[in-house]
Structure 1
């Protein structure tokens, strides 16, 4: 039997649009704190608010984005949010105080939250059902690659040429995201054409969150707390180990190993189901963190990166795929918004908690305890999701 096509023009375009959105996000994630300290005269805590407010606005807007997608259609929400994202990028030249920059970051986060929710809803419609795990794996790979390219490009531009070229390049990246979004074609359901006023929003919990996606979203949020420790502190840990020269390669190895494993893990998800993929990936994620906690050399540091890349890099798209599969057809956009909101909340909470934790322990101890925490995630996944699915299976 011939497989349904996966690598269509629309799948490539939505993945490209998502890629450029996240390149811009990570590009500014690593450069804005430096800009705030050096050119706006802010403190370290104030510089950190530039990221916090961006993520906060993205989290707040996502549940509403799910409603807007159902009312107006995925394409309209995507293009309007990408225009907002590009417009915010154009405004970075003007703020000359930290307060005005914080306001701009909040606005930029709204565009980002809406756009990434829309691309997630679009890809769920574009991927054939028979290749859902494989397709979501490749789609999330665009985010993983952006996580490598964005910080590397941002720091290089900031260090070599300064802030003005940095903002120019950010505008160009945002423009590429919009360009890729414009060529996507996704059939809209008839009821989305009956557009309601944007102010006629529903504020009931069932209208803001897709409850079928909550269990797996909570599992994803549980693990994203630990992922925040890697985003925030793995380069600092490398400096402490006196292998700072390889710190930038951590996520490069992470992405390369993940890319090599993706053709297998995505297909296995579709063939054998989520449990066959999730349990080993949790163990591999924990093993990678344990190895990271024990490392003293650059080689072991990078081997740990590869293990974490396969472990967490497989878990995230698996969880997002489950969230989409659990939701009814007309609620898949809201399920995407629910999953990403809780995931982002985990990143935000994790950054704060881990930041407090490192003041009282070494990074080696931190990652050792992170490994134990991730292993405990085996039980979290079982009790929040797998056990319920087993019960449903037995009642059929």
Structure 2
């Protein structure tokens, strides 16, 4: 399958998709169950349970800060394999946690390994995608995350209900090990830092940690990530309180199906008609989905919300990433990628902590209404940070092929 003389579906691209699927499968297996596990195992509050879930992302955020800076100095393949090895080992430590503090420590380490591995694979795959098909290729790559979104929560609930948490942790370790095995067969495009970059290797100024060109769209993902964390972390508790548990499971299945379909064409729409033709509708759809979750008088409405959240947040992640790497110069692709996910991780990681403290005041309904309002406001924010810009696709700062 070629277009414009460059092949998209290479062996490396397929292996990268498979690796990413298993990495995110572990993320969703544990993210959707960790808050409940913390409550049942250590009798903590909703706020603390939210932090038990979000601390994984805090660890990932810290790792991304340094991974983006040192990616090309360490080597993309070395960072990926090292991160996955630690990712596998950390998954085996959960049964050993005999205190809430111990659980948090494991979550932070596990998250750091996730951050290093996912930054490496997400940045490196851009070198496997033809520049003129970046939106399309990023969307296809994101399908792996979408499938993990569907399979992960479903398997997690099934395992916890019919088996034990220890078996869940063992299954997570097995998935991490599969990611490592597939990654061993993956050859990533490496890039050699210039002498000037080597001279600045240990300098850690703001622009060495975060890429200014990627920050505008990354700020959108901070709010979107925090809003999606409200669903990911608390929808099971919300559904249980409203006797809509089956609908919550259906929500994730509908969400995943919609995202899977949307990513078959959203990237092409972005490449053909520009960023605004995709971003504005996805933000509006995300707001509508959150509003439906907040309202949800019955199981049908809650499940239907998955359609709008799928078109919204599900399509927003890859299209936003395509913008981030497009706006950055070629030698800062890795840093732009880490900047994008640092901001999204910050939202996903801090969201459960803040929202967990908010729930006793607003209730679940009020929290989701508030999140819907935040996404509406974010639509205006997008206009000011990126939407008002005018440039031709194919003439961006990052038109060189990333190494």
Distance change >3 Å, CA 360–CA 219, structure 1 → 2? same
Alignment deviations for residues 283-336 of structure 1 (CA, whole Å, 9 cap, x no partner): 222222233333322222222211111122111211111011111111111111
Report matched runs for 1:310-321 at 5 Å.
310-321=311-322
Counterpart-to-counterpart distance in 2, 1:226 and 1:191:
37
How far off is 1:374 after superposition?
1.5
Alignment deviations for residues 47-104 of structure 1 (CA, whole Å, 9 cap, x no partner): 4443333222211121210122121221111111111111222333433333333322
Matched-pair contact (CA < 8 Å) for 1:72–1:196:
no
Task: Establish whether residue 357 from structure 1 lines up as the match of residue 339 from structure 2.
Answer: no
What is the alpha-carbon root mean square deviation over aligned residues? 2.8
Partner of residue 253, structure 2: 252
Alignment deviations for residues 96-154 of structure 1 (CA, whole Å, 9 cap, x no partner): 33333332222211111101100111111111112111111122222222122222212
Partner of residue 51, structure 1: 53
| Stretch deviating more after TM superposition (330-339 or 254-263) | 254-263
Partner of residue 230, structure 1: 231
Counterpart-to-counterpart distance in 2, 1:32 and 1:302:
23
TM-score, reference length from structure 1? 0.90
How far off is 1:192 after superposition?
8.1
Alignment deviations for residues 347-374 of structure 1 (CA, whole Å, 9 cap, x no partner): 2232233223322234334333332322
How far off is 1:37 after superposition?
4.3
Task: Report the secondary structure of 1:7's partner residue.
Answer: coil
Q: 1:180 aligns with which of 179, 182, 188?
A: 182
Distance change >3 Å, CA 49–CA 288, structure 1 → 2? closer
Matched-pair contact (CA < 8 Å) for 2:31–2:232:
no
Matched-pair contact (CA < 8 Å) for 1:117–1:337:
yes
Matched-pair contact (CA < 8 Å) for 1:71–1:193:
no
Distance change >3 Å, CA 304–CA 53, structure 1 → 2? closer
Counterpart-to-counterpart distance in 2, 1:344 and 1:230:
15
Partner of residue 401, structure 2: none
Matched-pair contact (CA < 8 Å) for 1:70–1:192:
no
Gap runs ≥5 in structure 1: none
How far off is 1:188 after superposition?
1.5
Q: Which has the higher helix share?
A: 1
Partner of residue 87, structure 1: 89
Task: Establish whether residue 304 from structure 1 lines up as the match of residue 271 from structure 2.
Answer: no
Partner of residue 243, structure 2: 242
How far off is 1:193 after superposition?
12
Task: Establish whether residue 384 from structure 1 lines up as the match of residue 385 from structure 2.
Answer: yes
Partner of residue 373, structure 1: 374
Task: Establish whether residue 335 from structure 1 lines up as the match of residue 336 from structure 2.
Answer: yes
Task: Report the secondary structure of 1:191's partner residue.
Answer: coil
Task: Establish whether residue 281 from structure 1 lines up as the match of residue 279 from structure 2.
Answer: no
Task: Report the secondary structure of 1:150's partner residue.
Answer: helix
Counterpart-to-counterpart distance in 2, 1:284 and 1:36:
33
Partner of residue 150, structure 2: 148
| Stretch deviating more after TM superposition (46-55 or 212-221) | 46-55
Partner of residue 272, structure 2: 271
Partner of residue 204, structure 1: 205
Task: Establish whether residue 221 from structure 1 lines up as the match of residue 218 from structure 2.
Answer: no
Counterpart-to-counterpart distance in 2, 1:2 and 1:176:
30
Partner of residue 130, structure 1: 132
Matched-pair contact (CA < 8 Å) for 2:128–2:189:
no
Q: 2:31 aligns with which of 26, 29, 33?
A: 29
Matched-pair contact (CA < 8 Å) for 1:253–1:305:
yes
Task: Report the secondary structure of 1:316's partner residue.
Answer: helix
Matched-pair contact (CA < 8 Å) for 2:23–2:179:
yes
TM-score, reference length from structure 2? 0.89
Alignment deviations for residues 249-277 of structure 1 (CA, whole Å, 9 cap, x no partner): 11110010121222221111111111111
Query: In the comparison of the two structures, how many residue pairs are matched?
Result: 391
Distance change >3 Å, CA 348–CA 8, structure 1 → 2? same
Distance change >3 Å, CA 353–CA 93, structure 1 → 2? closer
Distance change >3 Å, CA 362–CA 90, structure 1 → 2? closer
Gap runs ≥5 in structure 2: 398-403
Distance change >3 Å, CA 307–CA 81, structure 1 → 2? same
